[in-house]
Every structure is written in structure tokens, then in C-alpha cells.
């Protein structure tokens, strides 16, 4: 029986699946099985996987059911003591499994080990650094405020813990990672590996850039979490909402500018301010307002040219500094 089961759900991933699988096969920790759930792909994904010769790879084809269902299907096939999910376009550094496995062995009270995440572009080049949080032990309250794990391709999780909390919630189309981390954090401790080991691929056509879908699912996750949360943390709900709306504002304004994105960002940022009025006193709010106005009012081509020439004025990455994680 392998120590770790790696689960990759994939749907029409012919452009990236080979590189993603290779990042698993390149791990310095070799005692794993690699379970690939083909979620009804209609391209050459299954042929590419079948062409990779390694006895640890197990391919299971299914009708299309979505990512949460695919993760649960993978979990049902897993024989390892620990589970790590990996999206079909993301990458791991070679020491990822070894470092997280050691962290869990060294911290027997923890059931989840996570590392830091950086973003890469579609060509695999560095795009943006992550948040680099160092939260250990009981992280429940901090996870209520913000998903600092940052990627579903990140943690190594004790399989029994994952089963006990019910795996992935298949009713959620987005934000199911955050929901799962929250349910785990209610019962179990987390431990951080303080180094970049996950490379999250930014694709503006991917599900993660379905901002409206993310908003709906995020609100579901927040409502569900606070319905089950103790009275002592109920006052944090507004902070959770403000944080999520700040994140969604950034997402809406990321990538190629369109007037539709600008109007969406205006509504999202207004919701952030309603839940955190102090934001209006922050200088970053002027930059966000300037970017929203430009994107909403000017033709896309002109806005794109301005953003290219005046990057510093349009860069609102510092908005993440105002996502509060300490109650």
C-alpha cells in the first residue's frame, strides 16, 4: 500500500496534463500512487495519459461530473494513508510531497500540511507571488476569514480525516476547496511548510475566473460555515464577507479589461466597502476606483494600452494587504 495517493481530476486537459503528471513523477518522494480521474474528456487527454509509462499511474474514465465529484471518485479509489489533490494544469516542485509528508510525521497532531503557492502564466513562467502565510495548529478562525491555503493543489491530507469530514461538497461549483479546508480545520490541526512548492497556473478561460460563480459559491460557503460556527465567532462574518469581496474585486479586474468586468468590479467592491467601511480611508481604494472607472468607461483596447504603459497606476495587488486574517 502506498503512503500517498495523488488525485488529478482532468477534463479536456491535453495542453497541460503531461507536464502536470511529470511534476508528480519527478517527486523526490516516490512511495505514491497517481490516480487520474478523466471527467468525460472529449480531446486527447486519455491517450496522452495512456502514453506515459509508469506503474504508479492509474487512469479511471467517468462521465462528466465536475471537479468535486471527480475528487470524491478519486478518493474512493485511493489506497494511500495520505491524499493530495492536484489540478490538471498546476505543477509541484520536486520536493513537495517529501516536505509535506515529513511535516506531518514531525507533527502527529496535524492532519493537513500545506505549503506556499506562486502563480505561473499559461507558458509556465512566474506570474505572481502568493500570500506566504505561516499559520499552524488550530487555524479554524483564520480560515473563516480567508482561504490562505490559496490552491486546491496544495495540501497533503490524512485520508481518514478527509473521509470523516465527507470529502468534497459536490453541490458547490466553486470555492469547494475553501469549504473542505474549513471542515477539516474544525477537527484537525494544520502545519505549514514555509516554502513555495505549488505553481498555480493562471488561465483567464479557466473556471477560477468565473467570478460570478465564485461569488455565489463563496456566499454559500460563508453561510454554511457560520451556520455551524460557535457564537464566539459570529461577529467575524462581516470580515469574512469583506475579505471575499476584496478578493473577487481583484479577480474581476484581472486580465484583459472589458466594460462588463468594470461594472462587475464596481458592485463587488461596493459590497467589500459595505462590510468594511474603513476601506474608504485607504489609499488603495483610490487606485481601485481609478481602475474600475477606466475599465468601465473606456473602450477595452484603450484601457489595455493604458494598463500596459502605466502598470504602477493600475496595479491593485496591494488590495490583498487589506484582507484581514487576524480577528
pLDDT in tens, 12-47: 999 999 999 999 999 999 999 999 999 999 999 999
| pLDDT tens per residue, range 157-173 | 999 999 999 999 999 99
Q: CB–CB of 272/285 below 8 Å?
A: no
pLDDT of the residue at 327: 61
Mean pLDDT in residue range 223-227: 97
Distance CA 122, CA 110 (A): 34
Task: Say if CB 253 and CB 223 are below 8 A apart.
Answer: no
Q: What is the mean pLDDT of residues 98-111?
A: 98
Q: Which of 8, 19, 178 is nearest to 78 (CA)?
A: 8
Predicted local confidence at residue 204, as pLDDT? 64
pLDDT band with cut points at 50, 70 and 90 for residue 314: confident
How many Å apart are CA 123 and CA 139, to the nearest integer? 34
Instruction: Report the distance separating Cα 214 and Cα 174, nearest Å.
Output: 5
pTM, two decimals, is: 0.93
Confidence check: pLDDT of 205 > 60:
no
User: How much is the average pLDDT of 266-293?
Assistant: 92
Q: What is the pLDDT of residues 134-155, one digit of tens each?
A: 999 999 999 999 999 999 999 9
Between 197 and 286, where is the model more confident?
197
> CB of 8 within 8 A of CB of 86?
yes
Distances (CA, A) of 165 to 139, 184, 268: 16, 6, 31
Amino acid at each position: 500500500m502506498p503512503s500517498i495517493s495523488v488525485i488529478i481530476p482532468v477534463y479536456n486537459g491535453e495542453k497541460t496534463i503531461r507536464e502536470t503528471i511529470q511534476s508528480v513523477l519527478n517527486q523526490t518522494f516516490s512511495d505514491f500512487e497517481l490516480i487520474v480521474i478523466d471527467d468525460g474528456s472529449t480531446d486527447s487527454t486519455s491517450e496522452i495519459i495512456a502514453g506515459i509509462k509508469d506503474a504508479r499511474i492509474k487512469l479511471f474514465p467517468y462521465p462528466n461530473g465536475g471537479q468535486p465529484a471527480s475528487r470524491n471518485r478519486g478518493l474512493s479509489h485511493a489506497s494511500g494513508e495520505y491524499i493530495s489533490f492536484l489540478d490538471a494544469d498546476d505543477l509541484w516542485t520536486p520536493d513537495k510531497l517529501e516536505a509535506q509528508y515529513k511535516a506531518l510525521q514531525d507533527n502527529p497532531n496535524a492532519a493537513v500540511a500545506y505549503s506556499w503557492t506562486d502563480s505561473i502564466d499559461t507558458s509556465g513562467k512566474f506570474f505572481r507571488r502568493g500570500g506566504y502565510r505561516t499559520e499552524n495548529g488550530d487555524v479554524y478562525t483564520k480560515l473563516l476569514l480567508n482561504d490562505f491555503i490559496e490552491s486546491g493543489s496544495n495540501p497533503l491530507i490524512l485520508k481518514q480525516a478527509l473521509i470523516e469530514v465527507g470529502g468534497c461538497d459536490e453541490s458547490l461549483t466553486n470555492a469547494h476547496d475553501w469549504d473542505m479546508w474549513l471542515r477539516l480545520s474544525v477537527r484537525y490541526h494544520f502545519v505549514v511548510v514555509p516554502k513555495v512548492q505549488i505553481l498555480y497556473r493562471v488561465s483567464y478561460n479557466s473556471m477560477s475566473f468565473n467570478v460570478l460563480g465564485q461569488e455565489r459559491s463563496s456566499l454559500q460557503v460563508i453561510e454554511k460555515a457560520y451556520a455551524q460556527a460557535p457564537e464566539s465567532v459570529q461577529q467575524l462574518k462581516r470580515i469574512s464577507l469583506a475579505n471575499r469581496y476584496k478578493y473577487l474585486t481583484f479577480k474581476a479586474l484581472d486580465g484583459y479589461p472589458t466594460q462588463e468586468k468594470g461594472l462587475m468590479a464596481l458592485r463587488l467592491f461596493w459590497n467589500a466597502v459595505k462590510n468594511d467601511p474603513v476601506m474608504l480611508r485607504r489609499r488603495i481604494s483610490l487606485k481601485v476606483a481609478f481602475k474600475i472607472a477606466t475599465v468601465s468607461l473606456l473602450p477595452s483596447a484603450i484601457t489595455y494600452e493604458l494598463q500596459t504603459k502605466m502598470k504602477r497606476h493600475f496595479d491593485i495587488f496591494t488590495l490583498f494587504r487589506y484582507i484581514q486574517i487576524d480577528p
